């Protein structure tokens, strides 16, 4: 904890703390340390299944989603690394389920559970704040921009969850380490951003190892496959918007945009490389 505060305060402590106790039980070998995230990543499957069940009520959609994640190169890689990304993914999924459940049940206990999940999410990764904000946009739009009971409960839940995160925000403010993220300030051209983002989208489904740093004819041969993947992603979003209700497609779009839009703006408008790194 002292090391994080003094050297890298933007890294949140939840994963570090849990891993410490995991290491005490299973040893500090590389395999033992990485096995914790491998274990956590397995929760992606039931959480994703539950979320799809809440949204689509279709076993076909649920199992296709499970299949896509099971063979996703990004999920497989992050499940083997000693980093907090798999924990963040689980937090995003379970918070989404918690919100939909609270909006449907409208009970105090369901909102208390959502508050607890928000606290876990805030301490799993800084970018989770974008997800919580996007969920708020979803609630506001679904409630017709009215100050309804659900809107009030969401605001109170978000406020309560955010209050638990205030101590670490204070640590980040009072212990800034700008040198820890100097890598993100490296400028990159618009073409470089385009190529890297195409690689990011395609790696969710197929790792073609496309990188601007890797030259050769193979890169150009594989470009059509990336374009096909991007076309399928675009069509799936269009198809979902046409074939599902507003409560479903709006949730999917806000979840996509919660992390996608801030990182896209950062990379393309400010010429940073937060996402592409």
The pTM of this model reads 0.89
Band the pLDDT of 214: cuts 50, 70, 90. Answer: low
Domain check: are 39 and 166 in the same one? yes
Cβ neighbours of residue 23 closer than 8 Å, sequence gap 6 or more: 32, 33
**Which tops the pLDDT comparison, 129 or 188?**
129
Same structural domain, 169 and 250: no
Q: Is residue 145 part of a domain?
A: yes
Residue 23 lies in a domain: yes
Does residue 193 lie in a domain region? yes
**Which pLDDT band, with edges at 50, 70 and 90, does 269 fall under?**
confident
Q: Which residues contact 275 (CB under 8 A, 6 or more apart)?
A: 197, 200, 263, 264, 266, 267
Domain count, the chain: 2
The answer, yes or no, to whether residue 4 has pLDDT greater than 90, is no
Alpha helix ranges (H) inside 143-204: 149-174, 190-203
Same domain, 39 and 168: yes
Range of the domain at 64: 2-176
Is there a domain that residue 55 lies in? yes
d(CA 223, CA 216) in angstroms, rounded, equals 12
């Amino acid at each position: 904890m002292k090391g994080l505060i003094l050297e890298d305060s933007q890294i949140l402590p939840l994963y570090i703390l849990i891993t410490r106790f995991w290491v005490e039980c299973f040893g500090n070998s590389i395999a033992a340390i990485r096995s914790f995230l491998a274990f956590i990543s397995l929760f992606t499957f039931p959480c994703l299944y539950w979320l799809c069940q809440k949204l689509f009520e279709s076993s076909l959609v649920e199992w296709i989603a499970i299949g896509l994640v099971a063979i996703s190169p990004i999920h497989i890689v992050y499940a083997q690394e000693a980093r907090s990304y798999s924990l963040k993914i689980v937090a995003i999924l379970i918070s989404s389920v918690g919100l939909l459940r609270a909006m449907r049940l409208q009970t105090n206990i369901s909102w208390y559970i959502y508050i607890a999940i928000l606290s876990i999410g805030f301490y799993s990764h800084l970018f989770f704040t974008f997800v919580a904000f996007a969920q708020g946009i979803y609630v506001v739009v679904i409630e017709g921009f009215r100050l309804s009971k659900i809107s009030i409960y969401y605001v109170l839940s978000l406020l309560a969850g955010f209050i638990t995160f205030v101590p670490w925000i204070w640590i980040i403010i009072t212990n800034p380490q700008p040198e820890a993220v100097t890598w993100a300030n490296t400028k990159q051209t618009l073409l470089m951003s385009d190529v890297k983002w195409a690689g990011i989208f395609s790696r969710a489904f197929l790792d073609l190892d496309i990188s601007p740093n890797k030259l050769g004819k193979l890169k150009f041969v594989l470009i059509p496959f990336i374009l096909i993947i991007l076309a399928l992603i675009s069509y799936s979003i269009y198809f979902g918007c046409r074939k599902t209700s507003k409560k479903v497609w709006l949730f999917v779009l806000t979840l996509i945009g919660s992390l996608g839009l801030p990182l896209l703006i950062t990379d393309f408008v400010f010429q940073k490389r937060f996402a592409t790194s």
